[in-house]
A and B are shown apart, each in its own frame.
Chain A
């Protein structure tokens, strides 16, 4: 393989040959639109008028006493999570490539809702694969996707969660590659997806950097974000990765710590750090949060871990729940369970100025939380 698409030893394209030309086509299309001021203008306009960007940077009032904790409010994006940033950009690319059918995978349902939303907006056919276990625990998002006109296909094998949903979306793409764009939801998958999704999410970090400099006159001591596949973290980190004085901290679910306890392997088209056994068989992940319940992670995170630029810490289900309730009770903000993991670790940090990515809102998680 050429050096393109690698972050150190991670990334690449580990896919059946059928998909290689489609990835080449996507890469070419992406390079074209990147250099096209018209694309940037259209994306910015939609981010402003449709998504509601820039999202606020909010300084918490009662959450932490001895330090300043800021939340980057991606939960206030249209559809309630950062996923729309990526879905919108990919819809524009798909349209340019002439693909009228979109397939996507979803875990928590937030990416599925974002995909269904932009497909409605652009008049594209949308098929979302979702594990039956996730469909049960994220039922409101299933209803939302259907309301938006998407077909939600239940995946009934293996762990019945995001891992199998992703495999099925890729199998659909292999089968329908000539008419279909695969709208992957995180910075995972074969090149160019990790880079493409990372750049589409980098808007989070760009805004956050500008906003914190404006209100505090300095950069934060630490930037903290939850990591499943890792797209909101990679987007937030992008604003600070070149500032060595800013600690970058990714927080994984303790039962799905691909970076903390994983090993190098290949899953869903990329080489990265994975939960796998000695034989390379992928292990099951476990998390209360469907969005973090994935045994893989974006290759760039594996690289940032190895290089020491970012640190990755675990948070347990219980710790996330405590943080979830705390934010609701002290700030009047109900977070998604995913960023509640980030919050749990952020509140313990010995730092004066902390910026946390609040990647989504928690309406989807009420049933899960109330059942505990």
Chain B
């Protein structure tokens, strides 16, 4: 089955939102630990991060949020953050404390492949990544490979990036690990189209927007729409 991963920014409502996303059909959840200067993020997640920080979501509060989320859902939980938080907290300490709080892996947006081997994590590869480097990332990744579907920051786009198909093809040629595509995937149609090429999708900015605007019920509806579209397309592929 294709996987649907939903990104939520850590915050007071996150455990409840996480439960709703899982009820809607999310297979895994990424929990954003906000950073003041998130280079890989577009405006939606940057603003969500600013709000979370203003609300006091520092590393310790994020770990508590993670533990609380873990008590509500049993899907994989993956903190997604930036190196500066780990530098301050300590990489190994973060790895251990986050695992105790229920994390199953990590994503660090600005930590390249070669850095911090003591923190097993999901590696990201982009359309610009040379194939040899994709192979290396696949060897080192923790479970699945995150395909950044476009050259750009997180955020919604009108269509699925034309760069994704080529990236998938190059990745498939060098690895058997599952490939999940993220960045620029927002609508059910986009999720279905991207999942058709891959083993699943990651949806961030639009999920964060809907969670803020429509709350728990809206998020569950939205995730269900993604789930349904992805599953239907998998059952009867578009010609």
Point out residues on A near B: beta carbons under 8 Å. 1-2, 12-22, 157-158, 163-164, 167, 170-171, 174-178, 263-269, 271, 274, 276-282
Contacts and interface: CB of A to CB of B under 8 A. Distances in A.
A268 B36 CA distance: 11
13 contacts: A1-B115, A15-B112, A17-B125, A18-B126, A18-B128, A18-B148, A158-B36, A171-B153, A265-B88, A267-B84, A278-B88, A280-B89, A282-B84
Contact of A21 (B58, B128, B148): B128
Interface in B142-200: 148, 151-153
B85 A178 contact: no
B72 to A, nearest CB: 25
Given A266-B83, A268-B37, A281-B58, A174 B151 contact: yes
Contacts of A178: 128, 151
Given A176-B151, A265-B84, A279-B88, 14 more contacts: A1-B112, A14-B111, A17-B112, A17-B137, A21-B129, A21-B133, A157-B50, A178-B128, A266-B83, A267-B37, A276-B84, A279-B58, A279-B89, A282-B36
Nearest to A271: B87
B96 interface: no
A167 B39 contact: yes
A19 B125 CA distance: 10
Nearest to B85: A280
B128 A177 contact: yes
Given A1-B112, A18-B126, A282 B151 contact: no
Contacts of A266: 82-84, 87, 110
Please name the 3 residue pairs, one residue from A and one from B, whose CB atoms are nearest each other, closest first: A280-B88, A18-B126, A280-B84
State the main secondary structure of chain B at its contact with A: loop
Q: How large is the interface on B (under 10, 10 to 19, 20 to 34, 35 or more residues)?
A: 35 or more
B39 A268 contact: yes
A18 B148 CA distance: 8
B124 A17 contact: yes
A62 to B, nearest CB: 45
B106 interface: no
B151 A15 contact: no
Contacts of B152: 18, 174-175
B167 to A, nearest CB: 11
Interface of B: 35-37, 39-40, 42, 46, 50, 53, 58-60, 82-89, 109-115, 123-130, 133, 137, 148, 151-153
B39 A280 contact: no
A281 B148 contact: no
B71 to A, nearest CB: 24
Given A14-B112, A171-B153, A280-B59, A21 B39 contact: no
A175 B88 contact: no
B90 to A, nearest CB: 10
Contact of B59 (A171, A271, A279): A279
Nearest to B43: A157
A174 B129 CA distance: 12
Contacts of B86: 280
Given A14-B111, A14-B115, A279-B89, A175 B35 contact: no
Contact of A269 (B89, B110, B129): B110
B112 A22 contact: no
B114 A2 contact: yes
Contacts of A271: 83, 87
Contact of B110 (A15, A264, A278): A15
Contacts of A17: 112-113, 123-126, 128-129, 137, 148
Contact of B39 (A1, A16, A279): A16
Contact of A175 (B83, B114, B123, B153): B153
Contacts of B133: 20-21
A13 B116 CA distance: 12
